[in-house]
Amino acid sequence: MFSRRTPGNLSENPIAKAIARAGQGLLDLTLSNPTQAGFSYPEAEIAEAFQDPQILRYEPDPRGLLPAREALLAHLEK
């Protein structure tokens, strides 16, 4: 038995009907796990990056990562 707070009409609402009509072409933005969303990842490159022991060090810089700042500067200087 459902809770008394559950509405008596359990048929699909307009949103559920639209989702059913969209089928596989729908991008579900409610997924909390991006690996389940069907994106393709450069798996070999990611696995290779994890071989670098430097990733185990956490040295934050409030200005952001130096390579990122340098890349931005190079882009803006064009």
The pLDDT tens digits for 29-45 are 788 888 887 788 899 99
Residue 66's pLDDT is 92
Give whole-number Cα distances, 70 to 18, 32, 67, in Å: 46, 32, 5
| pLDDT over 70 percentage in the chain | 97
Q: State how far Cα 57 lies from the chain centre.
A: 24
The pLDDT tens digits for 11-27 are 898 988 888 888 777 77
Residue 1's pLDDT is 60
Whether the predicted pLDDT of 28 surpasses 80: no
The rounded mean pLDDT for the chain is 86
